[in-house]
Amino acid sequence: MAPPMDNTTRGVILGLKMAGKGNTEIAEIIGMTPSAVSMLYLRAVKKGYDPEKRPLGALDSFFGGGSTPNTPKKRKTPRRRSV
């Protein structure tokens, strides 16, 4: 499995897409697969990223990780211990 990607790398990918680079070329520059580049871009668009908007803005929410599968939710109230 690939290591997690930081937001800086995600921002670089979006910037290269805006500059007209293709998925294969971006993948070679960043060191990942073209499908990973495509999925990141599609996920950002789904979360509200608009490549036609000016001035261009990229929010963390456009490419943030979100919830991780199989991670238990944090308990809101402390567990009571029975003696």
**Does any domain span residue 30?**
yes
**Does any domain span residue 70?**
no
pLDDT for the residue 81: 78
- Using left for φ > 0, alpha for ψ between -120 and 50, and beta otherwise, residue 50 falls in beta
Q: How many domains does the chain have?
A: 1
pLDDT for the residue 27: 95
**Does any domain span residue 76?**
no
- The tens digit of pLDDT for each residue in 30-81 reads 999 999 999 999 988 888 888 787 776 656 666 565 555 566 677 777 777 7
**Does any domain span residue 83?**
no
H/E element, 15 = helix 7-18
Inform me whether the pLDDT recorded for 24 exceeds 90. Answer: yes
**Does any domain span residue 1?**
no
**Does any domain span residue 12?**
yes
> Burial of 11 by CB count in 10 Å (0-12 exposed, 13-18 middle, 19+ buried)?
middle
pTM here is 0.64
| Structural domain containing residue 39 | 7-63
More confident residue, 30 or 6: 30
